[in-house]
Amino acid sequence: MDHASYLAFRALGHHPTLHYTWVYDRAVDLDALRRLSDRLHEGRFARVVEAAPGWGGRPRWVRPDAPVPIEVEPVMRPRSQIEQWSVEVSRRPIDPGAGPPWRFGVLRLDDGGSAVAIVVSHTVTDGVGVLLGLREAVEGLDLGLEYPRRGERARSRLSHWREVIGSLPEKVRALRAVVRQMRAERSLPHRASTAALPVATPVAEFTAPDPPVRDGAARVVTFVSEASWDACAERLDE
């Protein structure tokens, strides 16, 4: 799934992301958020895709070239602009290959509150992975993930060709499966000739309406009170 998502991103130039925004009625502790960001860089978010150094190999996970910084907005905004700012954060470049694999934004509100947004590439992790990664970072859990640094495989051509040769049986099996599928489709009865189909009656020309104007981010906004959130957390801990 990760491989397919990465190839789709390279082919289409865009990919799905996971976006979370928290809104507070107080100022947030930036030092604590920076510590959280440092821990995220040691956890399950801290990986990007590196292409194979030669023909026939597969891309692999490597460490990002640099930590992802917290982007604190220099200008305060009113609470009514939180959603607009959240969309702006989601539009900032995220690249599961070149990096950064996620974004971490903070907005100060002019009424004393704050908003925090995290946007993560779906190639890097999924929704459950985001929640687990945040929990592990908050609790300071060390998963012992040690991805190689970018370029280490390129310095070991021998290991690359061992990988390519070792994967040849799998590639042969996949090719045989494709050939069998093609033969099976050829054996299916052909559809009747379209010449025998009745001619469609001409209809009046249809003009499609203009598509709705979108801001580039499909989203659902849900408001949950702090009391309801804490009550649910207590029930889950029981």
What share of the chain in percent tops pLDDT 70?
A: 71
pLDDT tens string 170-223 = 777 877 887 888 778 777 665 555 555 566 666 555 565 555 445 555 666 677
Tell me which of 3.40.50.1820, 3.30.559.10, 3.30.43.10, 3.40.1390.10 is the CATH number of domain 1-150. 3.30.559.10
Its pTM stands at: 0.65
pLDDT tens string 40-79 = 888 888 888 887 766 656 778 888 888 888 999 999 999 9
Considering the chain, what is the average pLDDT of its residues? 79
pLDDT at 155: 56
Q: What is the mean pLDDT of residues 23-44?
A: 89
- Residues facing residue 21 across a β-bridge: 117
CB atoms within 10 A of CB 24: 13
Are the beta carbons of 64 and 97 closer than 8 angstroms? no
Domain locations along the chain: 1-150, 156-187
Residue 10 tokens read as: 């390279």
Torsion of CA 149, 153, 154, 156, to 10 degrees: 130
Residue 213 tokens read as: 């104007």
User: What is the C-alpha to C-alpha distance for residues 123 and 145, in angstroms, rounded to an integer?
Assistant: 17
Please give the single-letter amino acid code of residue 175: L
pLDDT at 79: 93
Tell me the pLDDT band of 31, cut-offs 50, 70 and 90. Answer: very high
pLDDT at 196: 57
Are the beta carbons of 144 and 43 closer than 8 angstroms? no
What share of the chain in percent tops pLDDT 90?
A: 20
